[in-house]
Structure 1
């Protein structure tokens, strides 16, 4: 039976996609639910999955633009991946039945020719001396009583992936490298539809918005002390580490209670002000930058935000994320500090009106109560659309964010000062 594997619909507004990469070879036999191809849209990278086990036959090539609903490949279910291996148990059984006789005969031969066996072992070890084996692999072989011969004989075939892996290995000898020291060679590769769309949007932001950036700096001492003090208990209870992003996301949502225009956007001749805060967190993936959305951050705790971010980031890196999880944010946070950035001017993600940029934490001398102290400091930047956000609100938002990060206990009161609440001020 021949099954057609059609391109799924990534989203309502998407009519065509690009076949980014085949994950199997044409004519190979796959199992059910195996990933067979990567499909790239202008919003996300998705995977095609085999609906049934069988032989794959390509109907498109890598880089082709395919309409949604078109056939990308077919699967011949008459050819099963386990057919060749099903015969192995019978042969193993006959080998086991004959093994006692063979062992006796081999024992006699070994006793008669002990010198030959040693020389053969020495020769095989010399032949395999060029095979590179990691320490982890050696340990696994020792634990399972496997020799290098057993592992090499267990490899059924060499596929495209193995050949590409060897080709990408660095040359041991500089003289053997095909690239010369003063090479003038160039490499060209086609831009993915995701990166093309991203570049179009970035240029459009520059042309269609009145973008400005304001800066401030945050003393990270309290947050770092809090993480260090409670990290072990946090891991025991929640099953993952406590990061900085949960605090900044919660603080940004709380700061918008005092500066709602930062969470607003322009729709034609109207200003839309959502009563919720859906924060997009920029995540770097092998296919480029993606921004999964954490919904209703104003109503979630720091651990809940951290868990949502962890799950969405893992989906994005494994190409399992849906288009719905990448659309609809009201505000964005990007952290260039993970790559060592000290300061930057992030670009707004339309139709949003603002984006917060976090940066590297650096110990610097600062004035504290008239004395110079060394504190872990972070520069923060807010890029905003001046058409809808005034300078007073943009600066005030960053100042409020700074106060909340430096006094994290205020996040329990939606950003309000506990002393002012006590005195009803």
Structure 2
């Protein structure tokens, strides 16, 4: 039994469309409502879902063809009926000859909420290598975390469909694992498609509507970045390029790189920025461009905290199984101050101010891959021990690249400790959409006047960067003074003073 895939209703007065992209090929399994192809009209782009589950038996309208409303696009066969059709399709595509029972697809795992794509950073296996079930095959890099991809089954890596450097979406196929006996003949062929794809990258046919739009706008193909399959330019890509070109005069052009002498160039190394580093750069610049950012400073005498920590750290660790550090003191002090100055814990949403009756504390952590900010949820409700345990555990997983997306979302305020690297004073940048971030710094003995006498005290500079659109100077200074008071006399935290 077969099911027809036909052109859906295209909209009022639209009678035809162009088949822009097929996301499946004959022989591929499809699920009900899975996107099969994309059509382009002179007004909109239309996605065509599968009307039933099965196997794509035949593509009737190839890419680039113009079709009318209700025209036949493809045929979907039941899984059992498609067995005979699938080998023919695979032969035509020169794919490895492993039957469905002998091969397992390696797919992109769940990337987390709001993450739609990743970059293949490293393959730990090559085509022809034997793999054990759950053995790590490759590592993906998103704009926030690294994701390891384990082997879903034991066998031999027959094909790598997404080589290193490839950007893949959340439902993409990464590789194929074949049964040991079936892969002997397939392994040499498996690597062949990659060079062909790379070589043919510039010969991809752009969508007809995109060509027409480029001609009308007078924009060259080189000025448009294609987002379609294999880099194909779609109509929306042209519209974005035209809009970018129109707004270009308002934004200063990037400064050209200064000429480099030949002998210096030979000693340089050019490394592509990781997706995480690109995202960090973009978000930090967005914070500067969006918020009215201002920083206020103060200093705190750490004597009381250091004495308290020294007196109880052994007992604390023995009872709670966690080291007593300074981060729990600062976290509790900030939670205390945020109750009095709630706008520092708020955010702007359009023309509204969203006040948060909770404190989800972001703790900035440096990792080999870049800066990440795991969130301690409901920090205002947690004890010193709970905070220390969570900071230690999330800091360790941040360095190992094991944090999930959920653990880095939803923060309402952030603490950044540059002092661990020796920073004496700095102005931290906001973590959007938050309105405040506290910078901690190096503890350094300095001469201070105490009751008319010069004393040597362990002092730390504090910096609060805040969004002046929502936080006034009085509120910012009050917040920092309350943090200072709580740290210089931790008993105030117990008395809620």
**Number of paired residues?**
315
Distance in 2 (alpha carbons) for counterparts of 1:411 and 1:333 = 18
- Residues 43-93 of structure 1: CA distance to partner in whole angstroms, max 9, x if unpaired? 2222112222332342222111011111112223437xxxxxxxxxxxxxx
Q: 1:33 Cα shift?
A: 2.4
Counterpart residue number, 1:261: 343
Counterpart residue number, 1:324: 406
Distance in 1 (alpha carbons) for counterparts of 2:301 and 2:126 = 53
Change in Cα spacing, 1:364 to 1:27, as seen in structure 2 (3 Å) is: farther
Counterpart residue number, 1:32: 133
1:46/1:321 contact within 8 Å kept: no
Larger mean CA deviation between 66-75 and 275-284 belongs to 66-75
Is 1:70 matched up with 2:152?
A: no
Q: 1:25 Cα shift?
A: 4.0
Change in Cα spacing, 1:25 to 1:222, as seen in structure 2 (3 Å) is: farther
Task: List runs of 5+ in structure 1 lacking aligned partners.
Answer: 80-180, 417-425
Q: 1:223 Cα shift?
A: 1.1
Distance in 2 (alpha carbons) for counterparts of 1:67 and 1:204 = 25
2:117/2:167 contact within 8 Å kept: yes
2:324 match: secondary structure: coil
TM-score by length of 1: 0.71
Is 1:248 matched up with 2:330?
A: yes
1:38 match: secondary structure: strand
Change in Cα spacing, 1:258 to 1:30, as seen in structure 2 (3 Å) is: same
Task: List runs of 5+ in structure 2 lacking aligned partners.
Answer: 1-101, 182-262
Counterpart residue number, 2:10: none
Is 1:217 matched up with 2:262?
A: no
Alignment of 1:153-172 (within 5 A): none
> Higher relative contact order by CA 8 Å / sep ≥ 6: 1 or 2?
1
Is 1:196 matched up with 2:278?
A: yes
Counterpart residue number, 2:481: 399
- Residues 119-176 of structure 1: CA distance to partner in whole angstroms, max 9, x if unpaired? xxxxxxxxxxxxxxxxxxxxxxxxxxxxxxxxxxxxxxxxxxxxxxxxxxxxxxxxxx
Larger mean CA deviation between 362-371 and 20-29 belongs to 20-29
Distance in 2 (alpha carbons) for counterparts of 1:26 and 1:377 = 58
More helix by proportion, 1 or 2?
A: 1
1:284/1:290 contact within 8 Å kept: yes
Q: 1:35 Cα shift?
A: 2.4
Cα RMSD, aligned residues only? 1.9
Distance in 2 (alpha carbons) for counterparts of 1:54 and 1:192 = 31
Change in Cα spacing, 1:60 to 1:216, as seen in structure 2 (3 Å) is: same
Distance in 1 (alpha carbons) for counterparts of 2:437 and 2:127 = 44
Distance in 1 (alpha carbons) for counterparts of 2:306 and 2:452 = 23
Pick aligned residue for 1:52 from 137, 143, 153:
153
Pick aligned residue for 1:385 from 467, 473, 476:
467
